[in-house]
Structure 1
């Protein structure tokens, strides 16, 4: 078996097993219903054959009556089985949809690092998985069950034809099998093309979503660049879809020989029937039943081919899904547990780059003692946020090490280490949950209310409890008709999570970028009091905020260019002095200069 075929079979087997896990015993009931439905055409043919052969026999009335009663029973069975089968499918749909979404969520959450989320190939794959997970698992169940029913029907009719002539099933099977195989692999080729060009499809989807995004609706209208988005979407779509049409065209013309081969098989079978009828080798009853059998067979084979056409992209989807589920952790965890407060954090000759040949941090070394507050400043791209990502162990250094009380961070259990940290990032989350859940990430009914009161008070958001009658139970975000907050309020809410967690190490990456100067000053005063005795890492472009820190690191080209207190760095009259003086002069600009 070729490697490609093994991969397809492996993905199909894995998908069926996962569906079985999702629906458990429901699959067995569905198989019974499907098997019975698949046998109904054969039973129908048998009754027709018996009915036609009974003509001219003695005691005709009683025999036909028996056959007609059987026929009524068959119709009744079909009318009972069909709704039961449909009802079973509908009940299983919910379980399957939930199961695969949970698989996707759990796997994404299992990655300790964030490198995979910043990978282009991952973004292409996850865009497809997120979009198709609501359809493809359900499609597989319907395709598999329909195919089973069709195969049961095809097999029973072929066996029935075999009782009349042994070679009829053989010739029909050989004539249609190539068409089935071709249909499967040609459709897979189309899906693989769309997956390979997923970036184009993702760009189109993103451009479409931009025109519907409330956050940029104002800019689109002020600058009137909606038409530019339309043109961009059209140019991407014209290239992508023209290639798809060309691929479909080639697929169609390539399928013609296989379709003709299937027709030849049908013509050969019909010719054999007519020849035997002419030579009185077959009765009229047998001819009627055989022609009806070939009609049923042709119909079921066409349905099976259509299912194979639909199965191919579904299998390709599950190959992508399985590959995602089996993706290995880039930041593996160890077993060492920290059981006491951290006294010393050391970056020892750390070098790191998101691309191997492009280092962001270069041989960086510094240490932070327990209770020390340090600020990391510098130009964009100097490596400030990268230090935070390494500290949170979203990535591992390519060279050097990060030591926690002398222990390499790689040797410490990741969950245990992150339990020591609280963080607010510049791209903080805005969650469509309740006010209390946004602070605690727990059911607010089960969380210590005094702790939440303290956190929201320190973040200077107490007025929200007075503003919203439902208090901590107030839903937030317009996504689900919740209350909307201003950007500054959302950022304060992110800061309240720092206060709520109350961990010994605090990480703040541009924590006040959305706040006005007054709110920023108040928040920093509260932070100074709340984080007394804690180790604090602060990244900010607003240098007026870093004067509170015990030490300031100025990064330049991935290295520490200057280090010391605010007073010491100002006295050096270097880059920090220039940056601080430039910002200060902006606030102290003479009034006439602004006119």
Structure 2
């Protein structure tokens, strides 16, 4: 049963190699033709020496024609030079093309990752799958799976099979029993090594990828500039090193067990091969001693046996290598064929598309429930809310009330467990994700400023409108700061790649993030505490300007500072995933409920801070 299963799996894994070559054919047909030529040269190369050595020995011993022997020796050397030169040229070409293929395949994986939903890329299992998919191109835990080795071994396998068939015709002229014994021995060897390879792959797949990703993370936080301050303030160096060694020792334990099994099986297989090979060589020596075969025939048989052994050994090695690569290619093909869980039932009528792309946006949550994967309790519970066109809505509540989850549902990072969200009366799950994202933009508390130019940070791959850009930067009180930069708006942010790059303050970065959202000019804007690093006064000034800049847009705010909500048309108070209060500032204060408590507590907190500041000044 195991043999059948292994044979079936081996065929599947080898078919993955063929799938790989089909993808390569679509990238470079010339590489396939060069591969055919490489296989041809490698296949005929060993027979060059067999053929000419027999002729030369026969000329020297039989006919005693020395000049003919020299001529054949010259032809042998000339042909050897041509074959080796062509191999060297093709090898150089192959290295260049393999780098090109790696680039294309990595690009494909990155595009696939970007096409998956936010909820999918949060899944640790999917992150492991991505790492496995990357292993074939840039191996970290599985060095036998490198694309370069896979392509080389696949061509070697074909060449070895051709060589085997060639020497088979020679060996069969001696006796078929020698061939049968050798072939049986190597079949047993392949079977044993396949068992070992399966065990090795299971260790890698179930353990090493996840542990390797953890070690990589600790290596990142120990060297990445973003973590530099926390690492030094808290003296975390030894703690991180201890973590690395803990996971390294776990990896070492799993690898040691795998290597022990692999080594034992290899010793058994190699011992069997040595015994059989030695017996065949003694048999050939006996035939020559009894004058059953001539000296030239002995040379042919010995060389053929050597090629036969090398070919079978090579086939065994290549099959094991390609089996491992094929296993890993399965994870690669599974990953790149993974379907995004964004809804595929998109609207297609002209009228509905016009409604989606309208500048007048109305959002409605209808009986929306949501709970996170593998969780029993709901984070959002039967939520009903309508956000009117051009309305300024603030969402407030204690930590854990569900504010950010609600925003992620609106952004389609998550899909409601139950209920629906509508934009202009159309279920957002039925809108093409690219069309939907054109109509919405968001600024988060944990926003990112990339190590690119300021211009690229503001518009990415879109063309900037200089007039609208100037107005936005002026309104955010950052225009003068940008003018004073070494290269203005083309100045590179950060010093990760350029020592002349500029480090902006936290407040400046937040204003850049807000400017980015405004420049996108989407009809729906979400602010999830993007001004948390600013003072209350600076936040109030930005929000006041922001309200003017977004007067013709629908805007949703999340902020822990209650004073920032006063200019909003309505305020929704969340508690335990439910909207418990809804109204403007005056209405909610008069209710004397949850919002009143949050507002007065925070006002008292800031009053105490101001009083202490005044006392400390004396």
2:78 maps to which of 59, 73, 76: 73
Tell me by how many angstroms 1:177 deviates.
2.8
Tell me by how many angstroms 1:594 deviates.
8.2
1:12 maps to which of 11, 17, 42: 17
Q: Deviations over 1:496-531 (max 9, x none)?
A: 111111111111111212333443233212211110
5+ residue gaps, structure 1, are none
CA-based RMSD of the aligned residues comes to 2.4
Q: Deviations over 1:536-582 (max 9, x none)?
A: 11112222211121111111111112211112222222222222222
Asked if 1 retains the 8 angstrom alpha-carbon contact of 2:170 and 2:301, the reply is: no
Cα separation, 2, equivalents of 1:138 and 1:376: 54
Aligned counterpart, 1:168: 178
Asked if 2 retains the 8 angstrom alpha-carbon contact of 1:175 and 1:264, the reply is: no
2:508 maps to which of 476, 489, 493: 489
Asked if 1 retains the 8 angstrom alpha-carbon contact of 2:483 and 2:489, the reply is: no
Asked if 2 retains the 8 angstrom alpha-carbon contact of 1:436 and 1:452, the reply is: no
Aligned counterpart, 1:182: 192
CA gap of 1:366–1:249, structure 2 versus 1, over 3 A, is same
What is the TM-score when the length of structure 2 is the normalising length?
0.90
3-state SS of 2:340 partner: coil
Asked if 1 retains the 8 angstrom alpha-carbon contact of 2:13 and 2:322, the reply is: no
Aligned counterpart, 2:109: 104
Tell me by how many angstroms 1:219 deviates.
2.5
Q: Deviations over 1:79-101 (max 9, x none)?
A: 32122111221221232011101
Cα separation, 1, equivalents of 2:165 and 2:447: 59
Q: How does 1:365-514 map to 2 (within 5 A)?
A: 365-442=384-461, 446-481=463-498, 482-514=501-533
Asked if 2 retains the 8 angstrom alpha-carbon contact of 1:378 and 1:555, the reply is: yes
Tell me by how many angstroms 1:385 deviates.
1.2
Q: How does 1:73-222 map to 2 (within 5 A)?
A: 73-111=78-116, 113-130=117-134, 133-135=137-139, 136-197=146-207, 198-222=209-233
Aligned counterpart, 2:282: 271
Cα separation, 2, equivalents of 1:153 and 1:484: 63
Asked if 1 retains the 8 angstrom alpha-carbon contact of 2:132 and 2:332, the reply is: no
Aligned counterpart, 1:313: 324
Q: Deviations over 1:56-104 (max 9, x none)?
A: 3336123213311221222221232122111221221232011101110
Give the length in aligned residue pairs.
592
CA gap of 1:6–1:328, structure 2 versus 1, over 3 A, is farther
Tell me by how many angstroms 1:375 deviates.
0.8
1:298 maps to which of 285, 309, 325: 309
Q: Deviations over 1:11-62 (max 9, x none)?
A: 3332222233233221211221232123111111111122122223336123
CA gap of 1:315–1:452, structure 2 versus 1, over 3 A, is farther
Cα separation, 1, equivalents of 2:613 and 2:431: 58
Cα separation, 1, equivalents of 2:520 and 2:233: 42
Cα separation, 2, equivalents of 1:133 and 1:99: 10
Asked if 2 retains the 8 angstrom alpha-carbon contact of 1:331 and 1:394, the reply is: no
Tell me by how many angstroms 1:592 deviates.
7.9
Asked if 1 retains the 8 angstrom alpha-carbon contact of 2:459 and 2:519, the reply is: yes
Asked if 2 retains the 8 angstrom alpha-carbon contact of 1:374 and 1:538, the reply is: yes
Cα separation, 2, equivalents of 1:332 and 1:10: 32
3-state SS of 1:397 partner: coil
3-state SS of 1:480 partner: coil
Structure 1 residue 348 corresponds to structure 2 residue 366: yes
Q: Deviations over 1:293-328 (max 9, x none)?
A: 333443444444444444343223211111111212
Aligned counterpart, 2:567: 548
Asked if 1 retains the 8 angstrom alpha-carbon contact of 2:14 and 2:323, the reply is: no
Cα separation, 1, equivalents of 2:314 and 2:478: 62
Cα separation, 2, equivalents of 1:49 and 1:423: 79
Cα separation, 1, equivalents of 2:303 and 2:361: 85
Asked if 1 retains the 8 angstrom alpha-carbon contact of 2:17 and 2:326, the reply is: yes
Asked if 2 retains the 8 angstrom alpha-carbon contact of 1:97 and 1:138, the reply is: no
1:38 maps to which of 34, 37, 43: 43
5+ residue gaps, structure 2, are 140-145
Q: Deviations over 1:122-143 (max 9, x none)?
A: 1222234446533533332222
Q: Deviations over 1:135-158 (max 9, x none)?
A: 533332222233333333333333
